[in-house]
Amino acid sequence: YRFYINGIENEYHFGELARLFLDDGEFEVIPVTAFPGMAALLGRDSRVLNEDGSLSRESIKRQLYGILEEITGTTQPWGTLTGVRPLKLAFQVYDQEKSKGISTGECLRETRRRMGGEYLLSPEKLDLLMDILSYQLENVAPPDPATDSLYVGIPFCPTRCSYCAFASNVASQDDIERYLGDLLKEIDFMGDIYSRQHRRLESVYIGGGTPTTLDPEQLTRLIEAIYSSFDITPGSIEFTVEAGRPDTITKEKITALRDLMVDRISINPQTMKDHTLELMGRSHDAEQIREAFRITEGSGFTTVNSDLIAGLPEENVSDFTESLRQVIALGAENITVHTLSVKHGSRLRAQDPDYYRKRGDVAGEMLREGGRILCSAGYRPYYIYRQKHQMGGLENVGWCRPGHHSLYNIRIMEEKQTVIALGAGAIGKVYYPERDGLERIANVSNYRIYSERFPEILRRKNEYFGTASDPEWDRLEESWH
């Protein structure tokens, strides 16, 4: 199929929409300058859109959506939306309505009407989106312009899962220790710069990889360095550590994290079915997940999060809902339900590049049943994001018992706050409120290259945040070497 679109310069957004319906090799999106009678000269598998050049981008996307629906006989739950952050768009619409001076209830009703009409969302996804919007309006204040978030990356895991494309590596203790040494230098450097900015951190998130690949002493050094370098009073802000893989969780590590006043951790089963864990390449079973929860029970964490994935190979709806019920029973106050995304660089994509297209209906039913179970257990959806190559064109949703939301997760999705990101694979974002825009500052993903290019990484951080002069850089680089 060839879709000739009149009056556009960039076909990206239209190609992303077509990709939800068709494989890459099945279509082309071609910007053109149309002329009268052009459509009659084309083959039956070609279409001309926006022939008179009068339509907006969203109007053209609705026109393309109708053609794709006709060709394939299918619909998409998120309509014409292809971006990562549907809630960000809903907030923009809500704020436009709010500026008219109407009541909150009227704003919500108009936001729902516009999101459905302009972007063709299904009623089910409209309900979900409006529930999340309502939760945040009720429970989350807008970000203070003087606050930021801090992300610290630990790019190591015990094994690599089949669906994983993150910056995660299986490494020796010597490699981990060398990496930690460089990371502590980056923390010290950024903390020194930050102390001169008259700003403060709202949240800290240590992710990966699996941060609890570090031993208790290494975790202690890392977190104490963060507190010291960024002048944080322990226990004063939201502080999350992804414990992640249950096979890395020990009583000694949990004790160390609580002694350091970490208030949130993640224990991420992905599934409670042993056969699936084995298929994914996880080096633990469901009993080890239950043991990890027993270790943390009574430790005093404010919130334990757990991640589950809908659409894993060979799982059916009852497998997924049974995993969900078990995690609820284990006491997770925050449960993030992901839909499987088959990413470039993952082993699963190499084995079957089209896997994500094959079981979208099953994944959708998993999310529907999961949502009903979570709602009846007292959880509410509070944040959302989408990914490319996600089964059924679906989504990832964070659910929480009221008050147990992750502020860091919300801020990352709303994109109105600077995120300082340290470590291999970490992607920071500088927020510019005057233009309501972000600029990315990405560290290299490979931990060995991170060490090799360490001065270059710090020099780039200094360009965005610091004031070090050339003579100071000469002195600093000499000390690092």
pLDDT tens digits along 328-349: 999 999 999 999 987 655 566 5
| pLDDT greater than 80 at residue 215 | yes
Q: Domain containing 172 — which CATH number?
A: 3.80.30.20
Does any domain span residue 333?
A: yes
| Residue 100 pLDDT exceeds 90 | yes
% the chain with pLDDT above 70 = 91
Domain carrying residue 94 = 86-139
Q: Are residues 327 and 406 in the same domain?
A: yes
Q: What is the pLDDT of residue 461?
A: 85
Q: Answer yes or no: do 65 and 127 share one domain.
A: no
Model confidence pLDDT, tens digit, residues 140-163:
999 999 999 999 999 998 765 555
The reply to whether 126 and 159 lie within a common domain is no
26-36 residue pLDDT tens = 999 999 998 98
- If asked whether residues 119 and 202 sit together in one domain, one would say no
Q: Same domain, yes or no, for 402 and 337?
A: yes
279 in any annotated domain: yes
pLDDT band at 185 (very low <50, low <70, confident <90, very high): very high
Same domain, 268 and 371: yes
Q: Does residue 438 form part of some domain?
A: no
Domain boundary among 404, 422, 440: 422
| 390 and 241 inside one domain | yes
Determine the pLDDT at residue 462.
Answer: 84
| CA angle 115–117–122, rounded 5-degree value | 70
Question: Which tokens go with 149?
Answer: 């978030």
Classify residue 477: in a domain, yes or no: no
- What pLDDT is recorded for position 469? 58
The DSSP bridge pattern shows strands 380-385 and 396-400 to be: antiparallel
pLDDT at 465: 83
My answer on whether 131 and 229 are in the same domain is no
pLDDT in tens, 247-294: 899 999 999 999 999 999 999 999 999 999 998 887 789 999 999 999
pLDDT of residue 150: 98
Same domain, 183 and 271: yes
pLDDT value at residue 353? 63
pLDDT of 75-90, one tens digit each? 999 999 999 999 999 9
| The domain boundary residue, chosen from 422, 437, 456 | 422
- Does residue 268 lie in a domain region? yes
Tell me, yes or no, whether 258 and 369 share the same domain.
yes
pLDDT for position 164: 52
Summarize pLDDT for 13-24 with one digit per residue, the tens.
999 999 999 998
Average per-residue pLDDT for the chain: 91
> Quick one: 201 and 99 in the same domain?
no
pLDDT of residue 355: 67
Whether residue 438 has pLDDT greater than 60: yes
Report pTM.
0.92
Give the residue from 422, 440, 461 where a domain finishes: 422
Residues 117 and 152 in one domain: no
| Residue 331 falls inside a structural domain | yes
Write out the two tokens for 225.
């360095």
> Is the pLDDT at 356 greater than 80, yes or no?
no
Whether residue 479 lies inside any domain: the answer is no
When pLDDT is cut at 50, 70 and 90, the band that residue 352 belongs to is low
What is the number of structural domains in the chain?
Answer: 3
β-pair type (334-339, 303-310):
parallel
**Is 238 within the bounds of a domain?**
yes
- Residue 181 pLDDT grade (very low, low, confident, very high; cuts 50, 70, 90): very high
